[in-house]
Amino acid sequence: MSTQEAYRPLSKMMSDVFASVDLLTTSQLKRLEEHKYSASGKSITEPFLQIFWSWLVEQIPRSIAPNLITIVGLAFNFLGMVILISYCPNATEEAPRWAYVFAAFTLLVYQSLDAIDGKQARRTNSASPLGELFDHGCDSVSVSLVSLSVVVSLQLGDMPGYLFVFCFCSFFMFYAAHWQTYVSGTLKFGVIDVTEGQLLYCFVMLISGAVGPQIWSSMLLGLQLKLWSIYFGLAVALFTLYQHLQVILKGGIGRAGSTVANTSVIAPIFHIGSVILLAFLIAWRSKMEVYQRNPNIYILAFGMLSAKITNKLVVAHMTKSSMDLWDVAFLGPGFLLLDQYLDSFFPEKYILYLFLIWNTLDLIRYSTSICNQICKHLNIYCFDIVTKRPSNHSNSQVTTKLSQ
């Protein structure tokens, strides 16, 4: 037997493993089909913005799929972030003034399109569980994009500790919002929530664009303005976290106060906790200062890992399923930590870039496979609400639906 022939069974086995990993079972798909979106609460600015959002959605053709609106918004957000970090790779440099203004504009575009995708779904009678999952999935990626744009606008790279705390606090808070949803079955919005945060971030970027990012190094009552901004954000985050923990520790709607999946209400902490612990250990142990010398790439790499974990939590909530702690996305930071124990046999910077590529591709693979599976089950298309899919024999009892 040739080496190639001997390798083929192993190759097929690995291919099958990665093709099937994370895919939903028949029972999960059934529970997803029965899932109903539930949310409560309004932030202080939302009633005013609703007027603009209601007008904006009327300008969108009815043939445009809600998910297409969402992904276009994310693309704008990504573009604004990429331009900023290309000029400021260490979050200490100064970008052209227009770059900050453009980043603020792209964030507003993302916020607006993210707010009207659900309206478009109801307007076109194309709402489905896929739309909720797709929306939250894009939001999970946007968290790292927005966080990076803010720290670059504040020139927070000269304070790596604060940069680390701010970004990973953002990851944790977004995860915590869906954690309490997993427990209570309802996504609860606070008086000051993500909408206000995004508007505040736009303000920071616009100030940097108007007078330059050096303004945030000015002193006020013995502290730099950038630190006042960070402390204010952390105070709001702690207040919001307190509200989330009240819901979580009160007990869920499952059996004996468990989650919607009848699992422990505490268990999800281990997933996001592993992300933050790995990020801290790698940054702390690094002899090559891999975090301090590459803060943007470091945050983006762990942001993709956090997005994958959060997406799995959203899927677990919508399918009323448990979450597995192990995930192939942990291979990236795992290899980086292993290299440190081997006394940095490979340059940590190169492994960090491979980590970013691996986790980004894994997130795309996961999201694509889940969306494709749901689309086939519901007989819909992700980005098309005009064309109907051919009837699926394995799901002939499901009425053909349109996408959101």
Read off the pLDDT of residues 76-116 as tens digits, 9 standing for 90 and up: 999 999 999 999 999 999 999 999 999 999 999 999 999 99
**pLDDT tens-digit profile, the chain (404 residues):** 444 444 344 334 434 444 445 588 999 999 998 888 888 877 888 888 999 999 999 999 999 999 999 999 999 999 999 999 999 999 999 999 999 999 999 999 999 999 999 999 999 998 889 999 999 999 999 999 999 999 999 999 999 999 999 999 999 999 999 999 999 999 888 788 888 999 999 999 999 999 999 999 999 898 999 999 999 989 989 989 998 999 999 988 988 889 999 999 999 999 999 999 999 999 998 989 999 999 999 999 999 999 999 999 999 999 999 988 889 999 999 999 999 988 888 899 999 999 999 999 999 999 999 999 999 999 999 998 888 777 654 443 433 333 34
How many other β-carbons are positioned within 10 Å of the β-carbon of residue 256? 7
Query: Rounded to an integer, what is the distance from CA 158 to the centroid of its chain?
Result: 26
**Whole-angstrom distance, CA of residue 323 vs CA of residue 315:** 9
Three-class secondary structure of residue 292 per DSSP:
helix
Question: For position 41, what pLDDT does the model report?
Answer: 78
Query: Using an 8 Å Cβ cutoff, are 74 and 138 in contact?
Result: yes
CA distance 322 to 304: 21
Q: Which residues of 357-368 are buried (b: 16+ CB within 10 A; e: fewer)?
A: ebbbebbebbbe
291 within 8 A of 298, measured Cβ to Cβ = yes
The whole-angstrom separation of Cα 336 and Cα 348 is 7
Residue 380, C-beta contacts closer than 8 angstroms, at least 6 positions apart: 128, 130, 389, 400, 401, 402, 403
- The residues pairing with 224 across neighbouring beta strands, listed in sequence order, are 219
Catalytically active residues are: 136
**Whole-number pLDDT of residue 5:** 46
Give the separation between CA 366 and CA 213, rounded to whole angstroms. Answer: 38
Return d(Cα 72, Cα 167) in angstroms, integer.
24
Cα–Cα distance measured from residue 328 to residue 338, given in angstroms and rounded to the nearest whole number: 15
Cα gap 332→345, rounded to integer Å: 16
Q: Name the residue among 305, 308, 277, 279 with its Cα closest to residue 291.
A: 279
Give the pLDDT of residue 18. 43
Of residues 369, 183, 159, 359, the one with CA closest to residue 275: 359
Cα radius of gyration (the chain):
22
pLDDT 10s digits, 359-381 = 999 999 999 999 999 999 999 99
pLDDT at res. 391? 63
The pTM of this model reads: 0.89
Per-residue pLDDT, 47: 86
One-letter identity of residue 67: N
- pLDDT, residue 126, reads 87
